[in-house]
Amino acid sequence: MSDALHRAPALFGFVGRSGAGKTTLITDVIDCLRLDGFTVSAIKRAHDGFDLDHPGKDSWRLREAGCREVMLVGDRRWALLHENDTEPEPAPLALARRMGDVDIVLFEGFRNAPIPMIEVFRPSLGRPMLWPNCPSVVAVAADGEVSCPLPRLDLAAPPAIAAFVTAHLGLRAGRSSNSGRVLAS
Protein backbone atom coordinates (compact mmCIF):
# COMPACT_ATOMS: atom_id res chain seq x y z
CA MET A 1 0.00 0.00 0.00
CA SER A 2 1.26 3.48 -0.89
CA ASP A 3 2.40 5.81 1.88
CA ALA A 4 -0.18 8.31 0.55
CA LEU A 5 -3.00 5.90 1.42
CA HIS A 6 -4.14 5.00 4.89
CA ARG A 7 -6.85 2.63 6.02
CA ALA A 8 -9.74 4.24 7.82
CA PRO A 9 -10.47 2.46 11.08
CA ALA A 10 -13.94 2.37 12.55
CA LEU A 11 -14.29 5.03 15.27
CA PHE A 12 -16.39 4.70 18.42
CA GLY A 13 -16.41 6.69 21.65
CA PHE A 14 -17.25 6.39 25.32
CA VAL A 15 -18.17 9.41 27.44
CA GLY A 16 -19.35 9.88 31.00
CA ARG A 17 -18.81 11.78 34.19
CA SER A 18 -15.61 11.40 36.18
CA GLY A 19 -15.70 8.25 38.29
CA ALA A 20 -18.35 6.52 36.17
CA GLY A 21 -15.98 3.73 35.11
CA LYS A 22 -15.27 4.62 31.48
CA THR A 23 -11.72 3.28 31.41
CA THR A 24 -12.67 0.07 33.21
CA LEU A 25 -15.49 -0.55 30.74
CA ILE A 26 -13.31 0.27 27.73
CA THR A 27 -10.59 -2.15 28.83
CA ASP A 28 -13.21 -4.90 29.21
CA VAL A 29 -14.73 -4.07 25.80
CA ILE A 30 -11.24 -4.16 24.24
CA ASP A 31 -10.76 -7.68 25.61
CA CYS A 32 -14.06 -8.75 24.03
CA LEU A 33 -13.27 -7.11 20.68
CA ARG A 34 -9.84 -8.77 20.57
CA LEU A 35 -11.43 -12.17 21.31
CA ASP A 36 -13.73 -11.51 18.34
CA GLY A 37 -10.67 -11.04 16.11
CA PHE A 38 -10.51 -7.25 15.91
CA THR A 39 -7.40 -5.13 16.33
CA VAL A 40 -8.06 -2.15 18.58
CA SER A 41 -6.37 1.08 19.63
CA ALA A 42 -7.56 3.73 22.07
CA ILE A 43 -7.29 7.49 22.35
CA LYS A 44 -8.05 9.09 25.73
CA ARG A 45 -8.89 12.76 26.14
CA ALA A 46 -6.78 14.08 29.00
CA HIS A 47 -7.25 17.23 31.02
CA ASP A 48 -5.82 20.38 29.47
CA GLY A 49 -2.19 20.96 30.27
CA PHE A 50 -1.33 17.31 30.92
CA ASP A 51 2.28 16.31 30.32
CA LEU A 52 3.98 12.96 30.05
CA ASP A 53 7.34 14.64 30.24
CA HIS A 54 9.24 15.96 33.26
CA PRO A 55 11.27 19.16 33.56
CA GLY A 56 14.97 18.49 33.25
CA LYS A 57 14.63 15.24 31.27
CA ASP A 58 16.29 15.17 27.84
CA SER A 59 12.97 14.94 25.98
CA TRP A 60 11.60 17.91 27.96
CA ARG A 61 14.75 19.90 27.11
CA LEU A 62 14.29 19.10 23.40
CA ARG A 63 10.68 20.34 23.52
CA GLU A 64 11.71 23.46 25.42
CA ALA A 65 14.35 24.09 22.76
CA GLY A 66 11.55 24.34 20.20
CA CYS A 67 10.93 20.89 18.74
CA ARG A 68 7.40 20.55 17.43
CA GLU A 69 7.52 16.78 18.02
CA VAL A 70 9.73 14.58 20.18
CA MET A 71 9.56 10.79 20.02
CA LEU A 72 10.61 8.68 22.99
CA VAL A 73 11.67 5.16 22.00
CA GLY A 74 12.44 2.16 24.16
CA ASP A 75 12.72 -1.57 23.63
CA ARG A 76 9.02 -2.20 24.26
CA ARG A 77 7.17 1.03 23.36
CA TRP A 78 7.44 4.46 21.90
CA ALA A 79 5.55 7.69 22.42
CA LEU A 80 5.21 10.77 20.26
CA LEU A 81 4.84 14.14 22.00
CA HIS A 82 3.39 16.79 19.69
CA GLU A 83 3.18 20.44 20.71
CA ASN A 84 -0.26 21.84 19.88
CA ASP A 85 0.03 25.42 21.12
CA THR A 86 -1.34 27.28 18.11
CA GLU A 87 -3.56 24.67 16.45
CA PRO A 88 -7.07 23.53 17.33
CA GLU A 89 -7.45 20.05 18.80
CA PRO A 90 -7.27 17.56 15.90
CA ALA A 91 -10.46 15.84 14.75
CA PRO A 92 -10.96 12.17 15.77
CA LEU A 93 -10.21 10.81 12.27
CA ALA A 94 -6.99 12.86 12.09
CA LEU A 95 -5.95 11.45 15.47
CA ALA A 96 -6.84 7.91 14.42
CA ARG A 97 -4.78 8.25 11.24
CA ARG A 98 -1.68 8.99 13.33
CA MET A 99 -2.01 5.59 14.93
CA GLY A 100 -1.03 2.21 13.54
CA ASP A 101 -3.36 0.28 11.25
CA VAL A 102 -6.18 -1.27 13.30
CA ASP A 103 -9.82 -2.22 12.82
CA ILE A 104 -11.33 -0.04 15.55
CA VAL A 105 -10.14 3.04 17.44
CA LEU A 106 -11.99 3.65 20.70
CA PHE A 107 -12.11 7.18 22.08
CA GLU A 108 -12.61 8.12 25.71
CA GLY A 109 -13.88 11.52 26.72
CA PHE A 110 -14.31 13.35 23.40
CA ARG A 111 -17.82 14.63 24.18
CA ASN A 112 -18.11 16.86 21.12
CA ALA A 113 -16.66 14.47 18.57
CA PRO A 114 -18.98 13.57 15.69
CA ILE A 115 -18.58 9.82 16.22
CA PRO A 116 -21.03 7.33 17.74
CA MET A 117 -20.67 7.08 21.52
CA ILE A 118 -21.91 5.19 24.53
CA GLU A 119 -22.46 7.17 27.71
CA VAL A 120 -21.24 5.36 30.82
CA PHE A 121 -23.70 6.34 33.54
CA ARG A 122 -24.03 5.46 37.21
CA PRO A 123 -27.25 6.81 38.76
CA SER A 124 -25.68 6.39 42.21
CA LEU A 125 -23.27 9.26 41.47
CA GLY A 126 -26.26 11.62 41.55
CA ARG A 127 -25.08 13.60 38.52
CA PRO A 128 -27.09 14.33 35.36
CA MET A 129 -26.68 12.35 32.17
CA LEU A 130 -24.68 13.81 29.28
CA TRP A 131 -26.74 12.46 26.36
CA PRO A 132 -29.24 15.30 26.11
CA ASN A 133 -26.29 17.63 25.31
CA CYS A 134 -24.17 15.09 23.39
CA PRO A 135 -25.95 14.35 20.12
CA SER A 136 -23.44 11.61 19.22
CA VAL A 137 -24.47 9.39 22.16
CA VAL A 138 -26.29 6.39 20.66
CA ALA A 139 -26.73 4.28 23.83
CA VAL A 140 -26.29 4.39 27.60
CA ALA A 141 -24.39 1.77 29.60
CA ALA A 142 -25.66 1.95 33.17
CA ASP A 143 -25.65 -0.01 36.41
CA GLY A 144 -29.18 1.02 37.34
CA GLU A 145 -32.43 2.29 35.92
CA VAL A 146 -32.25 5.26 33.57
CA SER A 147 -34.94 7.26 31.90
CA CYS A 148 -33.95 8.05 28.33
CA PRO A 149 -35.09 7.08 24.83
CA LEU A 150 -31.72 5.55 23.88
CA PRO A 151 -30.89 1.84 24.12
CA ARG A 152 -29.82 0.91 27.66
CA LEU A 153 -26.90 -1.49 28.01
CA ASP A 154 -25.93 -3.29 31.20
CA LEU A 155 -22.65 -1.86 32.47
CA ALA A 156 -21.82 -5.29 33.93
CA ALA A 157 -22.04 -6.98 30.51
CA PRO A 158 -19.00 -5.92 28.44
CA PRO A 159 -19.52 -8.69 25.82
CA ALA A 160 -22.99 -7.29 25.05
CA ILE A 161 -21.58 -3.76 24.89
CA ALA A 162 -18.81 -4.92 22.51
CA ALA A 163 -21.47 -6.61 20.36
CA PHE A 164 -23.48 -3.36 20.33
CA VAL A 165 -20.38 -1.43 19.20
CA THR A 166 -19.58 -3.79 16.33
CA ALA A 167 -23.23 -4.02 15.25
CA HIS A 168 -23.56 -0.23 15.30
CA LEU A 169 -20.39 0.08 13.21
CA GLY A 170 -21.58 -2.65 10.81
CA LEU A 171 -18.62 -4.92 11.59
CA ARG A 172 -18.63 -8.69 11.79
CA ALA A 173 -16.47 -10.65 14.22
CA GLY A 174 -13.75 -12.89 12.92
CA ARG A 175 -12.55 -10.80 10.01
CA SER A 176 -10.78 -7.53 9.57
CA SER A 177 -13.19 -4.66 9.11
CA ASN A 178 -10.66 -2.64 7.14
CA SER A 179 -10.36 -4.91 4.14
CA GLY A 180 -11.10 -2.72 1.17
CA ARG A 181 -11.61 0.53 3.12
CA VAL A 182 -8.77 2.78 2.05
CA LEU A 183 -8.79 6.56 2.18
CA ALA A 184 -6.31 9.01 0.72
CA SER A 185 -4.51 11.02 3.38
Model confidence at 43: pLDDT above 80: yes
Burial of 47 (0-12, 13-18, 19+ CB in 10 A): exposed
The residue segments making up the domain with residue 119 are: 10-49+89-179
Q: What is the pLDDT of residue 35?
A: 95
Q: Is 80 exposed, middle or buried (0-12, 13-18, 19+ CB in 10 A)?
A: exposed
**Is 68 within the bounds of a domain?**
no
Round to the nearest angstrom and report the end-to-end CA distance of the chain.
12
Is residue 183's pLDDT more than 80?
A: no
**Contact by Cβ (8 Å): 29, 161:** yes
pTM score above 0.75: yes
Whether 157 is covered by a domain: the verdict is yes
Any domain includes 35: yes
Is pLDDT at 113 greater than 50 in this prediction? yes
% the chain with pLDDT above 70? 85
Q: Is residue 76 part of a domain?
A: no
- 153 within a domain of the structure (yes/no): yes
According to the model, what pLDDT value does residue 51 have? Answer: 60
State the pLDDT confidence band at 177, using cuts at 50, 70 and 90.
very low
Q: Bridge partners of 40? A: 104
Instruction: Specify the range with the lowest mean pLDDT, choosing from 11-25, 49-63, 128-142, 171-185.
Output: 171-185
> Residue 71: beta bridge partners?
80
* Amino acid at residue number 178: N
Quick check: is 148 in a domain?
yes
Domain membership flag for residue 102: yes
At residue 172, the pLDDT reads: 86
Per mean pLDDT, which range of 24-28, 39-43, 81-85, 167-171 is the poorest?
81-85
Domain count, the chain: 1
pLDDT of residue 107: 92
pLDDT at 180 over 50: no
115-169: per-residue pLDDT in tens? 999 999 999 999 999 998 999 999 999 998 899 999 999 999 999 999 999 999 9
Nearest to 119 by CA among 32, 17, 28: 17
pLDDT value of residue 7 = 63
Residue 15 sits in a domain of what CATH number? 3.40.50.300
Query: What is the reported pLDDT for 4?
Result: 45
How far apart, in whole angstroms, are the C-alpha atoms of residue 21 and residue 114?
22
Q: Is the residue at 125 inside a domain? A: yes
H-type alpha helices, the chain: 22-35, 58-64, 92-97, 158-169
